Amino acid sequence: MGFHLAIKGGKRARSRGWPLWPIFDEREVRAVEEVIRSGYWGGGVGVSGPKEAEFEEKFSRSHGCKYGICVANGTIALHVALLAAGIGPSDEVIVPALTFWATGSAVLMAGATPVIVDVNPETYCMDAGAVEEAITDRTKAVIPVYNYGSAPDMNRLVKLCREHNLVMIEDCARGHGFVWEDKPAGSIGDMGCFSFQQGKFMTAGEGGIIITNNRVYAERCYAIKDCGRLREGGIPEEGIMPSEIINWYNYRMTQIQAAILLVQLERLREQVEIRQRNQVYLDKRLREIEGIEPIKVDERLTKHQPWPYCFKYNSTFFRNAPRDKFIAALRAEGIPCSKPHPPLHKALYFPRWSEAYRRYVEGGASFPVSEKAYNEEAVELPQYLFLGTNEDMDDIVEAIMKIKRHLDELT
Q: Residue 160: which H helix or E strand, with range?
A: helix 154-164
Please report how close the Cβ of residue 197 comes to ligand PLP at its closest, in angstroms: 4
Q: Please identify, among the stretches 7-15, 73-81, 182-190, 270-278, the one whose residues bind ligand PLP according to the rule CB under 6 A.
A: 73-81
- DSSP 8-class letter at 122: T
Select 76 or 397, whichever has its Cβ closest to ligand PLP.
Answer: 76
Residue choice 103, 123, 257, 276 for contact with ligand PLP (CB under 6 A): 103
Please report how close the Cβ of residue 192 comes to ligand PLP at its closest, in angstroms: 12
Select 187 or 195, whichever has its Cβ closest to ligand PLP.
Answer: 195
Q: Residue 95: which H helix or E strand, with range?
A: strand 92-96
Give the Cα separation of 159 and 131 in Å (integer). Answer: 12
CA 191 to chain centre: 15
Q: Please identify, among the stretches 71-79, 224-232, 247-255, 265-273, the one whose residues bind ligand PLP according to the rule CB under 6 A.
A: 71-79
Select 279 or 334, whichever has its Cβ closest to ligand PLP.
Answer: 279
Residue choice 52, 56, 118, 171 for contact with ligand PLP (CB under 6 A): 171
**Residue with nearest beta carbon to ligand PLP:** 74
Site residues for ligand PLP, 185-224, by CB under 6 A, read 195, 197, 208
Contact of 294 with 311, CB cutoff 8 Å? yes
Task: Give the contact letters, 248-267, x = binds to ligand PLP (CB under 6 A), - = no.
Answer: --------------------
Contact of 335 with 14, CB cutoff 8 Å? yes
The 10 Å Cβ neighbour count of residue 86 is: 18
Is 380 near ligand PLP (CB under 6 A)? no
Is 74 near ligand PLP (CB under 6 A)? yes
Is 305 near ligand PLP (CB under 6 A)? no
Residue choice 48, 99, 271, 276 for contact with ligand PLP (CB under 6 A): 99
Give the Cα separation of 313 and 322 in Å (integer). Answer: 9
Cis, bond preceding 22 (omega within 30 deg of 0):
yes
Select 102 or 128, whichever has its Cβ closest to ligand PLP.
Answer: 102
Select 145 or 400, whichever has its Cβ closest to ligand PLP.
Answer: 145
> What stretches of 147-291 adopt beta strand conformation (E)?
167-171, 179-180, 183-184, 191-195, 208-212
Give the Cα separation of 3 and 344 in Å (integer). Answer: 40
- At a CB cut-off of 8 Å and minimum separation 6, what does 358 contact? none
Select 104 or 334, whichever has its Cβ closest to ligand PLP.
Answer: 104
Is residue 62 classed as helix, strand or coil in its secondary structure?
A: helix
CA 35 to chain centre: 29
Residue choice 100, 178, 313, 318 for contact with ligand PLP (CB under 6 A): 100
Is 178 near ligand PLP (CB under 6 A)? no
- Any bridge partners for residue 119, and if so which? 126
Site residues for ligand PLP, 140-169, by CB under 6 A, read 145
Is residue 380 classed as helix, strand or coil in its secondary structure?
A: strand
- Any bridge partners for residue 70, and if so which? 209
Q: Please identify, among the stretches 72-80, 324-332, 359-367, 389-397, the one whose residues bind ligand PLP according to the rule CB under 6 A.
A: 72-80
Select 192 or 334, whichever has its Cβ closest to ligand PLP.
Answer: 192
Is 73 near ligand PLP (CB under 6 A)? yes
Give the Cα separation of 332 and 13 in Å (integer). Answer: 9
- 389: number of CA atoms within 13 Å, CB side? 2
- Site residues (CB under 6 A) for ligand PLP? 73-75, 99-100, 102-103, 145, 171, 173-174, 195, 197, 208
